[in-house]
Structure 1
Amino acid sequence: MSAREIAEALTRPHLAHIVDLVAYPEPAGTVVVHGQRGVVRLFTGERHEVIAGSDPLAVTDPLAFLPYDRERANPSPPNASNAYPEPARRLLSFFADADRSPDLVVIHTPSHFFPDEGGHAGEHGSLDVIQSRAPFLLSGAGIPPAGRVPGYARMIDVAPTLLRLAGVDDPGALEGFEGQAVEMMDEVPSRRVVGLLWDGAPSSELLALAAEGELPAVAELLADGSALTGGAVAEFPSVTLCNHTTALTGVGPGRHGVLGNVFYDRARGERINANDESTWHRSAEWLRPGVRTVFERLARARPGSRSVCVNEAVDRGATTSTMQVVRALGDTPGSSVTDFLPPATGSPHLDDRYFAWATRVDEAGLAQVLREWADPATAPYLTWWSTVVTDAGHHAGGPRSPIARNSLRDADRRLGIFLAHLDAIGLRQQVTFLLTADHGFEAADPGVTGSWRPALADVCGRLGVTYRDEGPGFVYLNVE
């Protein structure tokens, strides 16, 4: 079997510093995972069957490395001391798309530094708990002020929770979710709901900075609400477009079809780069038949209710969205959305290109949110507001770096402006907030470099197999 032989070649000792795991599906509906310490077969229901050696996914605790001091003391841990929440469910979903799922996936070690292949000082994408841990905070109308609450949610739970917060109980609007609403709320239906996604904001760091007074707006939300200490477990891979899509559809990548930021579609014969400013506005094209966004579900349950989607690719069904503007600009020759963004000011990190661009995007997003909430009489029923600068800061410096912490402060400042606006128009007490992210972050080690691609080329050459390595890490076999 080609996948097994390739997995064995890529988990040899000389690649142990850069390859954590290699996984591939079996026809029987299971997934086999190879690591340095052994091989395991995963079944639905999280049953593990060790095939050889010891289980490389033996620890699955979603609350591992808590409290936060433990995470800080164990940066980018190796496999033997790491944790991998719900690995069977997440990997089975990842491999469920016959056209788009790769034949096997190679998972970087948390410390792997690979800037020559798209890597950064701060990394995400892994199956492990820290890269998968996004925040999950509910606040405002209908939410008891319980502060930090032990437990965790999942990214597939975000969409049903948003609708539950909005008082939606139409069975037709709620069917088909893989997740479920997180029950941290009182029975107060038909509220206005604001979903906040701070891209890449690490859960424990966010809560720690809020407690230290560094993020006063988040601290306000926490004082009026509850946050799960284990946050929300991202789908695999723990990358942007996969989890933005999961958050707003309530299903995993095997259902919604956005396997990652970059993937290959066998049916189209096309490489799809979903995480690019030239393609974000096309996200509806990647969604699989039958998948509905939270905006479409809300429209079915409450016809005529207004929804707003800000700085978010997954906007299908929203009454108003940033991507609608981008699509309109696409019809104007010579126009680029970047041409219409406000200037980047007020940050000491504008020499970083991604950070500067993200600052401009987020300033435009704040302006759009304030416009949409200018009149209390027409305020939207559901608002989804995505923030980009937090991802830029953590990629640039890694978690806990000055640029990463300043990116969180930037996002908090904009949130504070919005909260003050809600107070000014008298709507603050009528709004419920859900704050999350799409993944967490770990620091790469500049001394841990290298690539598995020579080994992949060697073993595939010996087997006479053609392949594509997208990502890198998504390996499609017998594809030119």
Structure 2
Amino acid sequence: MATLEHVQGLVVDALTDPALDRVVDLVAVPEGPRGAPRSVVVANARGAVRLHPGGTHEVLRGADPVADTDPMAFLPYEREVADPSPPNERNAYPEPARRLLSLFGDAGRSPDVVVVHTPGHYFPDEGGHRGEHGSLDVIQSRAPLLVAGAGAANEGLVDGYARLVDVGPTLAAAAGVPAGALVDADGRGLDGQVLASLVEPGRRRVVGILWDGAHCGELLALAEADELPGVARLLERGTALRGGAVAEFPSVTLTNHTSILTGVGPGRHGVLGNVFYDRRTGQRVVPNDASTWHRSAEWLEPGVRTVFELVGAHRGDLQVPTASVNEAIDRGAAFSTMAMVRASGSGNGAAGLGSMLPDPAASPFLGQRAHLADGYYAWATQVDDVALQLMLQLWESVEAAPALSWWANTVTDAGHHGGGPRSAMARDSFRDADRRLQAFLDRLDALGVTDDVTFLLTADHGFEGADPACTGSWRPALERVLAPTGATWRDEGPGFVYLEPAG
């Protein structure tokens, strides 16, 4: 009878065949019991390495496929532009041990093998786009991080980086949560830390802004060129890190929305990807869908606390201590868009409310109507217009404003998926989002409170451009090697491979 370790070995051998190296960047396998890996092996056609807790690399054969771990790679931005979607030998993979060990830390949901696409892999038949993310590599993992306003350092653009798990603790501390309360429900410290050198702890009103999929380097370049006046205005009163914030792995939407808003990695919060399999229930889970977003908090593991719960427990002085606008991970928020969806009784979540959304062609924030031919862009325009109106309602007066307002925007993700980074569609999506930001800042100006608010602008991941000529799938190789063993398997994502040996 084949063991799990034997079947994992067959999969790794099959997927590290040089014939697949155009589409397979890395293969990662945990060592140790499910949910408690003691190490992780990362391999590709060039070599293999064992990664230990703490980050030690033990080369097993050939070249270390994640030897370069520099989170500041491809900076200044001109270097990235000159070498887009680089191959493994020129790429960088920040904190690979920590991020992979976290992913493999959930016994019920973690895959048995992870397959990482090459940056250029184009796979539209399996859900891919012209612009892609999800990788362990530095560009797909680099989200922007900008802080501004009250309590924020005012240094402009600086070298440095943070992690997305640091965002939640930083927001909470700025809104008044004491350091000793930044723990999960079991009293364990968070994975993230307060970025006190960037934002002083306090008891202020805080606005967290997420531009989904916002490419870090391009956002900062456009802001410096004054093509994003709203972002430029924040940068004049704050600090942005050129290295941005490193996403958790995989660098996908729901994993990192959850990591941001809980301050812990996927192995603790349980939302391992936009799609994953839960062995305990025998169900395929797809949280990143308009029909299921309103249920996302259901998949949080026990003990996890959201930033809304943390802030709400310490800002009882306000009628609405926290607000979650267009955010799936909303548990504990006093005001929540997803709570409105849940209360609507729609059997298909937000997907069933499309007729209630505004006409995207009538949006005053839309720069190029031609982009509405892309269905995702059109939908994102609608929901982002609604989100802005909700933010303006929440900030009708200073007295009514929440201690923490979290405002998620989608059009930037649509623009980058549809056109790829640095495309006209991606740049126009930045401009559309910036016009909404300016409208919100105008409201704060009218209230006379702009200088009293702490702002944090970030994203959930970066983006790289796929090469339409770089096609193919690793699934035939999986079928070929696993069929003779009798093992059952599933490849979710694709990239999360779950295995059950025969017998």
The TM-score, its normalising length taken from structure 2, stands at 0.93
Change (3 A) 1:41 1:357: same
Q: 1:170 to 1:3 in 2, by over 3 A?
A: same
Q: Does residue 153 in structure 1 map to residue 157 in structure 2? A: no
Alignment of 1:163-312 (within 5 A): 163-169=172-178, 171-174=180-183, 176-185=189-198, 187=200, 189-305=202-318, 306-312=321-327
- Alignment check: 8 A CA contact 2:228 2:431 kept: yes
Please report how far the alpha carbon of residue 171 of structure 1 lies from its aligned counterpart in structure 2 after TM superposition. 1.4
CA contact (8 A) 2:342 2:349 kept: no
- The 3 A distance-change label for structure 1 pair 152 and 375 is same
Mapped to 2, the partners of 1:163 and 1:186 lie a distance apart of 11
Q: Which structure 2 residues correspond to residues 342-381 of structure 1 after superposition, within 5 A?
A: 342-345=358-361, 346=366, 347-348=368-369, 349-381=371-403
Q: Deviation of residue 334 (structure 1)?
A: 11
Q: Does the residue aligned with 2:70 lie in a helix, a strand or coil?
A: coil
- Measured in 2, the distance between the counterparts of 1:230 and 1:331 equals 41
Q: Give 1:421's aligned amino acid.
A: R
Match of 1:339 among 308, 333, 355: 355
Distance 1:449 1:334, change over 3 A: closer
Task: Specify the alignment match of 1:51 in structure 2.
Answer: 60
**1:10-25 equivalence runs, <5 A:** 10-25=15-30
Contact residue 11 and residue 482 of structure 2 kept, 8 A:
yes
Q: What is the rounded CA distance, in whole Å, between the counterparts of 2:43 and 2:385 in structure 1? A: 45
Q: Kindly provide the CA deviation profile for residues 297-350 of structure 1, in whole angstroms up to 9, marking residues without a partner as x.
A: 112222354111001000000000100111011258999222221110233211
Partners of 1:173 and 1:298 within 8 A in 2: no
Supply the distance in 2 between the matched residues of 1:262 and 1:327 (Cα, whole angstroms): 21
Q: Does 1:109 align with 2:124?
A: no
Identity %: 61
1:376 is paired with a residue of what secondary structure? Answer: coil
The amino acid that maps onto 2:460 is D
333 and 170 in structure 1: CA distance in 2 versus 1, 3 angstrom threshold = closer
The CA deviation at 1:236 is 0.3
CA separation in 1, counterparts of 2:349 and 2:135? 39
**8 Å contact from structure 2 (residues 135, 249) kept in 1:** yes
Output the aligned Cα RMSD.
Answer: 1.5
Partner of 2:462: 440
Q: What CA distance in whole angstroms lies between the structure 2 residues aligned with 1:186 and 1:322?
A: 27
Secondary structure of 1:276 counterpart: coil
Equivalences, count:
480
Q: Which residue of 1 aligns with 2:488?
A: 466
Correspondence for 2:131 among 113, 122, 135: 122
Q: 1:132 aligns with which of 141, 155, 164?
A: 141
Separation (CA, whole Å) in 1 of partners of 2:281 and 2:65: 35
Equivalent AA in structure 2 for residue 337 of structure 1: L
Q: Distance in 2 between matches of 1:44 and 1:266?
A: 25
Q: Give the aligned partner of residue 475 of structure 1.
A: 497
CA distance in 1 between partners of 2:349 and 2:463 (Å): 37
SS in 2 for 1:350: helix
Q: 1:186 to 1:21 in 2, by over 3 A?
A: closer
Q: Does 1:325 align with 2:340?
A: yes
Question: What SS class does the counterpart of residue 148 from structure 1 fall into?
Answer: strand
> 1:408-463: CA deviations, max 9, x gaps?
10000000000011000111111000000000000000000000000010011133
Kept in 1, the 8 Å contact 2:142–2:461? The answer is yes
Partner SS state of residue 137, structure 1: strand
1:427 corresponds in structure 2 to: 449
Distance change (3 Å), C-alpha of 1:186 and 1:308: closer
2:80 maps to 1:83: no
Please point out which of 403, 407, 412 is paired with 1:390: 412
Greater shift after overlay, 296-305 or 324-333? 324-333
Could you tell me how far apart the structure 2 residues matched to 1:371 and 1:3 are? 53
Match of residue 74 from structure 1: 83
Q: Which amino acid aligns with 2:359?
A: P
Distance 2:345 2:392 in 1: 25
Q: Report the secondary structure of 2:436's partner residue.
A: helix
State the 1:36 CA deviation: 1.6
Q: Distance in 2 between matches of 1:479 and 1:215?
A: 54
Deviation at 1:143, TM superposition (A): 1.4
The residue identity in structure 1 corresponding to 2:251 is S
Displacement after TM superposition at 1:479 (Å) = 8.2
Residues 126 and 236, structure 1, Cα contact 8 Å, conserved in 2: yes
Change (3 A) 1:77 1:369: same
Distance 2:165 2:348 in 1: 39
What TM-score, normalized by structure 1, do the two folds share?
0.98
AA at the equivalent of 2:95: E
Paired residue type of 1:98: A
Within 2, Cα distance between the matches of 1:67 and 1:166? 33
C-alpha separation in 2, matches of 1:282 and 1:132: 26
CA drift at 1:164: 1.8
Q: Which runs of 5+ in 1 are unaligned?
A: none
SS at match of 2:219: helix
Asked if the contact 1:184–1:226 (Cα under 8 Å) also holds between the matched residues in 2, the reply is no
* Partner residue, 1:32: 41
The DSSP-based 3-state class of the residue aligned with 1:213 is coil
